[in-house]
Amino acid sequence: MTHRVLEAVLMEFDGVLADTAHARRDALTGVLAEDGLQLSDSDYRDGCAGLSTTDAVREATERCGATIDATGLELLALRVDRAFSDHVGKGVVLVDGAREAVERLAARVRVGIVTRASRRHVEFVLNLGQMEHLFACVIGSEDVDPPKPAPAPYLAALGRLEQRRPIRSDGLVVSLEDGLGGIRAARAAGLRCIAVGNLPAHVAMEADACIPAITGIDTAVVEQLIARVGERFA
């Protein structure tokens, strides 16, 4: 089996770097509740977590048995985004050990963010934590369309990396994702993917590997996880 050299790690911001899971859930369920729709925690976890706002709203309304047209969906998604912004405005907490993990990775390879969140929100948090210099690129929800699970966001990130320094033919780019949409986006873009977090089995199994959190991760860990995948299919 040919050894591929790890060149870059691209990661979701929500849920991987920042502890935004509760804010995402509360924004969606809160707005739905205003309209008399009740979404259970299990339905959110199994069907909506990790999706873009629009896709999460679409899935949530279907699970609540509500019928909504395209205009209504767009307006509802805007309200959810506004509610999430309000939550984020009160402060975003990085996942324990996230900064140290990014510093270790960035010392060896290029690191980028490919997120369903607004780039404005992400850059605000990075600037606040003096982490912006650690990332070679940030692709936010406003930068590309269609969103995850389409590969476009990851392809845009790869394009940014290529502009600065071409990725070697034997180079390996790995994504870190916390949801089904992101995992599928990364795989569709031709990347290996490591799922991060306590995900449902049917979600985690679509990734190449799974870890509970990025705490303690470095390039050696990433390479070992991906190498095991190669060994299984060699």
| Each residue's pLDDT tens digit, 131-180 | 999 999 999 989 999 989 999 999 999 999 999 999 998 899 999 999 88
CA distance 184 to 192: 10
Q: Are residues 110 and 81 in the same domain?
A: no
Q: How far is CA 68 from CA 32, 77, 121, in A?
A: 12, 12, 28
Domain tally, the chain? 2
CA distance 4 to 143: 30
Taking Cα atoms as reference points, which of 213, 153, 225 lies closest to residue 178? Answer: 213
Average pLDDT over every residue of 202-219? 94
CATH of residue 134: 3.40.50.1000
85: pLDDT strictly greater than 90: no
Q: Are residues 115 and 178 in the same domain?
A: yes
CA distance 140 to 117: 6
Tokens of 134: 């650690």
Instruction: Yes or no: say if 215 and 197 are a contact pair by the CB < 8 Å rule.
Output: no
CA triple 40-115-100, angle to 5 deg: 100
Q: Are residues 146 and 198 in the same domain?
A: yes
Q: Are residues 107 and 223 in the same domain?
A: yes
Tokens of 91: 């402060």
| Other CB atoms within 10 Å distance of the CB of residue 118 | 19
CA distance 157 to 173: 11
CA distance 79 to 103: 35
To 10 degrees, what angle do helices 53-63 and 21-34 make?
50
Q: Are residues 72 and 185 in the same domain?
A: no
Which domain range does residue 119 map to? 5-20+92-233
Q: Are residues 74 and 163 in the same domain?
A: no
Question: Given 89, 120, 140, which residue is the final one in a domain?
Answer: 89
**Could you tell me the sign of the dihedral formed by the alpha carbons of 55, 173, 129, 18, in that order?**
positive
Q: How far is CA 203 from CA 9, 194, 206, 213, in A?
A: 20, 11, 6, 15
Distance spanning both ends of the chain, measured CA to CA: 7
Question: Given 33, 66, 89, which residue is the final one in a domain?
Answer: 89
Q: Are residues 107 and 79 in the same domain?
A: no
Question: Given 44, 71, 89, which residue is the final one in a domain?
Answer: 89
pTM recorded for the entire structure? 0.83
CA distance 14 to 50: 8
| Each residue's pLDDT tens digit, 12-65 | 999 999 988 888 899 999 999 999 999 999 999 888 887 778 889 999 999 999
Q: Are residues 193 and 228 in the same domain?
A: yes
Model confidence at 232, pLDDT cuts 50, 70, 90, reads very low
CATH of residue 51: 1.10.150
Q: Are residues 57 and 147 in the same domain?
A: no
Q: Are residues 85 and 201 in the same domain?
A: no
Q: Are residues 179 and 100 in the same domain?
A: yes
Average pLDDT over every residue of 100-119? 95
Q: Are residues 54 and 146 in the same domain?
A: no
| Other CB atoms within 10 Å distance of the CB of residue 216 | 12
